[in-house]
Amino acid sequence: MITRVRNGPADSPAHSEKSDAHAIASAAVVRRVRGERAADTILQNYGNVSDRNVEGAVVCKHDGRNVIDRLVVINDLAVARGGGTGLAVLSAKLFRQLDIQVTYICGDDGENPELAALGVEVVPLGGEHILTGSRVRTMAAGIHNTGAKAMLEGWIAANDTAGTVYHVHGWSKIMSPAIFAALKHVPGRSILHAHDFFLACPNGAFYDYQRQTACLRSPLGFGCLTCNCDKRSYAQKIWRAGRSARLRSLLLRNGESARRVLLLHEKMAPAFERSGYSPEMLHTLRNPVIPYCSERVRAEDNSDFFFVGRLEPEKGVEDAVEAAAAAGVPLTIIGDGPLKEHLSRHAKGVRLLGWQSHAQIADRIRSARVLIMPTRYPEPFGLVAVEASQSGIPVLLSNKAYLADEMVSAGIALVCDTSNAPVFAQTLRRLAEMSRADIQAMSEKAYHRAAPLATSPQEWRDALIDHYTDLIAGA
Question: Is residue 70 helix, strand or coil?
Answer: strand
Q: How far is CA 93 from CA 101, 120, 128, in A?
A: 10, 8, 25
Tell me whether domains 70-288+456-474 and 299-453 share a fold. Answer: yes
d(CA 395, CA 398): 10
Query: Where are the chain's structural domains?
Result: 2-65, 70-288+456-474, 299-453
Tens digits of residue pLDDT in 225-257 = 999 999 889 999 999 999 999 999 999 875 554
Highest mean pLDDT among 133-137, 357-361, 441-445: 441-445
Name the CATH code of domain 70-288+456-474 (choices 3.40.50.620, 3.40.50.2000, 3.40.50.720, 1.10.10.60): 3.40.50.2000
Tens digits of residue pLDDT in 171-208 = 999 999 999 999 998 978 999 999 999 999 999 999 99
Per-position DSSP letters for 22-45, written without gaps between them: HHHHHHHHHHHHH-HHHHHHHHHT
The answer to whether the predicted template modeling score (pTM) of the entire model surpasses 0.95 is no
- 447 pairs with which residues across the strands? none
**Residues whose CB is less than 8 angstroms from the CB of residue 377 and which lie 6 or more positions away in sequence, other chains included:** 205, 206, 207, 214, 314, 400
Per-position DSSP letters for 149-183, written without gaps between them: HHHHHHHHHHH--TTEEEEE---TTTT-THHHHHG
d(CA 470, CA 463): 11
d(CA 450, CA 442): 11
pLDDT band at 460 (very low <50, low <70, confident <90, very high): very high
| Domain made up of 299-453: CATH architecture | 3-Layer(aba) Sandwich (3.40)
pLDDT given for residue 60 in this prediction: 55
Per-position DSSP letters for 409-469, written without gaps between them: HTTSEEEE-TTSHHHHHHHHHHHHHS-HHHHHHHHHHHHHHSGGGSB-HHHHHHHHHHHHH
Tens digits of residue pLDDT in 382-423 = 999 999 999 999 999 999 999 999 999 999 999 999 999 999
Question: Is residue 217 helix, strand or coil?
Answer: coil
d(CA 379, CA 314): 10
pLDDT given for residue 19 in this prediction: 40
pLDDT given for residue 80 in this prediction: 83
